[in-house]
Amino acid sequence: MTVLGKVRLGAFTLALWVALSAVPRAVRAQETPPPTGNDAPSVAPAPAPGTNAPPAPPTAQPSSPPPGQPGSPPPGQPGYPPSGQEGYAPPGQGYPPGYAPPGYAPGYGPPGYPPGYAPPGYPPGYAPPRYAPSEPTHSGLYLHLHLGGGFTSVTGSGGYAGTVKYSGGGPSFAVAVGGAVAPNLALFGNLFFTGSSDLKVSSGGYTTDSSGDTLLVGIGGGIVYYFMPVNIFISAAVVSVQFEADDANGKTIHESDFGVGFQGMIGKEFWVSEHWGLGAALEFVGAGSMKDKDDPNMSWSGGAFNVLFSATCF
């Protein structure tokens, strides 16, 4: 081989070796991560059109010059950080967007509702009103029942038999129905019975025991008022009253026409439902000018005092 041919063969061999040695380095360059340190960071490719760009990083807040340096605000003015509190944000400025207080993940704030935030279901800045509990009030239908007992005494005078008095203990019952005309105030009509048994009969200066009975019956109308919230009531009724006395065999001894009477009560009740109250009461009944049916010269008068159990729907 000539010298020129040897030179050409050597140059071709050197070029082939350089080309083959460059291929592994290119492969390793693609597999090796970018260098760290002072090397220039790799630039991320721009997002494709139509996609959402990532949020911009928070902008660094300029710090105020140290106290005493030119451009530093005087103490007490916004932008002046307290001593030893670098990074202090003046009141009202808050944290920049996307920045959370120390100890919280980005985007997560302290517990509780921020100022101006209303509970779910209400518009911002609106708080549900607070209502004070209403005081119970009586209204509508008035229905009153009572049952009890006490002492009844009736005296007749002016007749051919002289003065006769019947007295003794016995039951009392009443029913009243009406309606409210104002809060806690009602008008009603009523019917009541009060009487005595195991009588003591006084006549001509003598007093004897009798197994007969007496009865006062009244019908009329009245008014009742409840004092709230203690639920104490007082009522008064003008009634027409009749008297009757029977012997042990149920035979009528004396009977009167209707006369003028009065019934009054005072009591205290306790709520057992939205409309019903149960309690106790005192009753007073007064009657007078009841003419005897058999002896027109005899007139009867009397009264009763009873302790009652009451039930009212009002």
Domain, as residue range, for 163: 141-313
Q: What torsion, rounded to 10 degrees, do the Cα atoms 22, 26, 28, 33 define?
A: 140
Residue 94 lies in a domain: no
Q: Would 78 be classed as within a structural domain?
A: no
Residue 133 DSSP SS3: coil
Is 246 among the domain residues? yes
Confirm whether 191 is domain-assigned.
yes
What is the enclosing helix (H) or strand (E) of 280?
strand 276-291
- The number of domains in the chain is 1
Cα–Cα distance between 263 and 247 in angstroms, integer?
27
DSSP string covering 42-93: PPPPPPPTTSPPPPPPPPPPPPPPPTTSTTPPPTTSTT-PPTT-TTPPPTTT
* DSSP track, 208-252: EEEEEEEEEEEEEEEEEEEETTTTEEEEEEEEEEEEEEE-TTS-E
Q: pTM above the 0.75 mark?
A: no
Count CB atoms within 10 A of the CB of residue 138: 22
Distance CA 233, CA 265 (A): 8
- Residue 9 within any structural domain of the chain: no
| Tens digits of pLDDT across the chain (314 residues) | 444 444 455 555 545 544 545 444 544 445 545 555 445 445 455 555 544 555 555 554 555 555 555 555 555 555 455 555 554 545 545 555 555 556 655 555 455 555 555 556 666 666 555 655 567 789 999 999 999 999 999 999 987 878 999 999 999 999 999 999 999 999 999 999 999 988 899 988 888 998 889 999 999 999 999 999 999 999 999 999 999 999 888 899 999 999 999 999 999 999 999 889 999 999 999 998 899 998 989 999 999 999 999 999 99
Residue 188: CATH number of its domain: 2.40.160.20
DSSP letter for 14, please.
H
Question: Domain for residue 105, yes or no?
Answer: no
- Residue 207 maps to a domain: yes
Q: How far apart are CA 216 and CA 170, in angstroms?
A: 11
**Taking a C-beta distance cutoff of 8 angstroms, is the pair 242, 262 a contact?**
no
**168 in Cβ contact with 151 (< 8 Å):** yes
Residue 240 domain flag: yes
